[in-house]
Chains A and B, each alone.
Chain A
Amino acid sequence: MNQIGITEAELHAYIDGELEGQRSEVVAGLLNADPTLRKRYAAYSADRDRLRAIYAPLADEPLPARLLRPLIVASAPRRAVWPWAAACATLAAAATILLMLQLGPAATAKDALLAEAMAVRNGTEAPERQLSAADTMAAGADFMEKTLSSPVGVPDLGQEGYQLADLAVYNDHESGRAVQLSYRDGKGHRLTVYLHRPTGADRYEILPERGGKRVCIVENQELSRVMIGEMSEQQMLRIASLSYDALRF
Chain B
Amino acid sequence: MNHRFIGKSTDASAMRGDGFATDLLGAMPRLRRYAMALVGDRSLADDLVQDCVERALKNRTALKDTRRLFGWLRTILHNLYMDALRERRSRGTTVDLDEMANSLNLSVAPNDRTATIDFVRAMDELSVDHRQILLLVGMEGLSYRDIAAELDIPMGTVMSRLARARDQLRIKLESTEVEITRNGSVGTMAEKE
Q: Smallest Cβ distance from B151 to chain A, in angstroms?
A: 16
B36 close to A52 (CB less than 8 A): no
B22 close to A61 (CB less than 8 A): no
Bound Cα distance from A243 to B8, whole angstroms: 8
- How many residues on A have C-beta within 8 angstroms of the other chain's C-beta atoms? 69
Contacts of A159 in B (CB 8 A): 9, 12
A85 close to B14 (CB less than 8 A): yes
Contacts of A241 in B (CB 8 A): 10, 12, 14-15
Residue A8 at the B interface, CB < 8 A?
Answer: yes
Chain B binding surface SS class: helix
Bound Cα distance from A82 to B107, whole angstroms: 37
Residue A75 at the B interface, CB < 8 A?
Answer: yes
Residue B53 at the A interface, CB < 8 A?
Answer: yes
Residue A141 at the B interface, CB < 8 A?
Answer: yes
The 8 Å CB contact of B57, one of A11, A43, A75, is A75
Instruction: Evaluate whether A54 and B119 lie within 8 angstroms (CB atoms) in the complex, with A66-B50, A241-B15, A242-B7 already known.
Output: yes
Q: Mark B6-39, 1 if CB is under 8 A from A, else 0.
A: 1111111011101011101110111011001100
B7 close to A43 (CB less than 8 A): no
Q: Mark B45-80, 1 if CB is under 8 A from A, else 0.
A: 010011001100110000000000000000000000
Residue of B nearest to A12 (CB): B163
Residue A238 at the B interface, CB < 8 A?
Answer: yes
Contacts of B8 in A (CB 8 A): 156, 245-246
A53 close to B108 (CB less than 8 A): yes
Q: Mark A71-90, 1 if CB is under 8 A from B, else 0.
A: 10011011011100110111
The 8 Å CB contact of B50, one of A42, A67, A242, is A67
Which of A44, A97, A143, A156 has most B Cβ within 10 Å? A156
Contacts of B32 in A (CB 8 A): 58-59, 61, 63, 67
Residue A60 at the B interface, CB < 8 A?
Answer: yes
Q: Mark A177-192, 1 if CB is under 8 A from B, else 0.
A: 0000000000000000
Bound Cα distance from A245 to B6, whole angstroms: 9
Bound Cα distance from A36 to B8, whole angstroms: 75
Residue A16 at the B interface, CB < 8 A?
Answer: yes
Q: Smallest Cβ distance from A153 to chain B, in angstroms?
A: 5
Q: Smallest Cβ distance from A248 to chain B, in angstroms?
A: 9
Bound Cα distance from A53 to B115, whole angstroms: 12
Contacts of B30 in A (CB 8 A): 59
The 8 Å CB contact of B159, one of A12, A71, A156, is A12
List A residues 24-50 near B (Cβ within 8 Å): 39, 42-44, 47-48, 50
A90 close to B21 (CB less than 8 A): yes
A93 close to B26 (CB less than 8 A): yes
Q: Smallest Cβ distance from B98 to chain A, in angstroms?
A: 15
Q: Which 8 A-B pairs have the closest CB atoms?
A: A246-B7, A85-B15, A9-B159, A58-B33, A75-B21, A74-B57, A141-B5, A8-B163
